[in-house]
Structure formats: structure tokens, C-alpha cells
Amino acid sequence: MCCFSRQVNAVADTSIFARAAGGGRQFLVYSMRLDASEPVAMILPIPVPVGAADGAVRFISLEAYPEFFDEMRSGYPVPPLTRAQGFAVSAAPVLAVVEVGSFVASFVPSIADFSRLDARFRLPAEVWDDLPMYRDFGFAVFQLKEGNQKVHPMAFEFPRADPKQLFFPTVHIHDGSVHPVAEFDHALFCQRSGEEDVTAWEASPEPAEAFMPNLARAQGVVDAAERCYRMTLQGEFKNEDVVVSA
């Protein structure tokens, strides 16, 4: 879910990478170009186990690897020719804020726990009524500065409610409302071992280590010996998240 706590002027050039981590966890890396007139929070839902603790998410700074997605794209020398088809008030302590490169982030264990976060970085409570699928989700919240900027990759590792799935947060909320169809400008990347058909995804001809020369900066997020898969979503699509087998 590319969701913002305040209205933003524009969001484009979104890239998301997902890979299974050990112990039933998942890596997620997210980057986009953003134009905002005031500081905003980007809120990403993540399907964590119910009752996940405040420290369940490990944030990873990729500030020193801004070219993460540029290098990943270089593994695909021929761009795809066709558009792919998509497949209560809390009295608890204030949530911890973690410095992650050029921004700060928090893990919100549940919708109710948003009351523990700065009010500027929450969604209106009524928005969640239109998003019942996130009732049992947790949320990674990144506080971003105002201005027209290319945000360096935001990365974290989280425990998955279903360790057989890779989750891509792609639902759009840019104006405080949930629309059934949204304009996508997304490149989704993953590394996976599942048996699900991936004909809609383009495989890199070589493993990641062949085209990502600075991969050591990724801190284990990418498996150097495995190929990457890519799906490009450009245009209008159903406003929903993308899930594939891990």
C-alpha cells in the first residue's frame, strides 16, 4: 500500500523488491519519487502474525546504496514490450522511532496502535473502515520530508503471517480516499523458490551478483547467487496488493 498520511502532489517511479528471509520472515525494499508540500508519512501494511511485538520489524539502512534499483534494473537489458497483468485509544507507550538513513521509521503492530504515533503521520480513522483486509496487519511507517525528491531505498525485514507468500504493498492512497482503480508506475522485483507459475514475470538472464557490483551494501537483502524476477505495472490497474508464492 503506497499510502500517505497527507495529500501528496505526485508519486512515480516506484520500485519494490521482496525476498524470503530465514525463520519465516521477509525482506522488503521500497523506493519511489515523491513530491510533497509538507512532511508526510508513508504507511506500508505488512502481513505480520497477530500480536507481533513492537520490535518485530528490523529496519535496514540502504542510504549508502541509492543505486540499489538502478543496478537491479541493469540485469534486464531488454525492457518488457507489453504491460504485465496484475495478479481504539491505546494507553501504551509511544512507539519507538528508528533512524534509517535520511529518514526515521516506526513499526506499528496494529491499526489500534496508530494512537501511539505522532498524529501528523496517521491516516484518518475512517479510512481503515474501507480497508478491512488490513484488520490483522502491522505497518511500517516512514516519515519523509517535504519537496520533490527521489527517496533512497527503504528496507526492512519482518515476520510473515504466511511464510509461503511474498507480499508487495501496492494499494494506493494518495489523497485520503480508497479508489477501486489506481494509476500504477511500478517495477516489482523478487527472488523466489516457489512453484507458482511466473510467466508474467521476466527473469534476469544472470544471477544478481553479475549485474549488481555493489551488492555487499545490500546487507544480505539480496541473494547474490540467485536470479531476479521482474514485473512492470504501468497504467490503470485494480487497486490491490500483489502476493506471490515465496
Q: What is the DSSP letter of 23?
A: G
Global pTM reads: 0.85
Taking 50 as the threshold, does the pLDDT of residue 88 lie above it?
Answer: no
Q: How far is CA 44 from CA 122, 127, 141, 205, in A?
A: 12, 14, 6, 31
Taking 80 as the threshold, does the pLDDT of residue 38 lie above it?
Answer: yes
Alpha helices in the chain (DSSP H): 68-73
Full DSSP string of 129-154: GG-GGGTT-EEEEEEE-SEEEEPPPE
Q: Which three cell numbers stand for residue 135?
A: 484488520
In the chain the domains, ranked by start, together with CATH numbers, are 2-245 (2.60.250)
pLDDT at 83: 37
pLDDT at 182: 84
Tens-place pLDDT, residues 145-194: 777 877 789 999 999 999 999 999 998 876 667 788 888 889 999 998 75
Name the one residue in this structure whose C-alpha cell is 481504539.
88
Q: How far apart are CA 38 and CA 145, in angstroms?
A: 7
Q: How far apart are CA 60 and CA 28, in angstroms?
A: 10
Decide: 50 and 222 in contact? Cβ < 8 Å.
no
Residue 120, classed as helix, strand or coil, is helix
Tens-place pLDDT, residues 100-133: 877 889 999 999 898 888 777 777 777 888 888 8
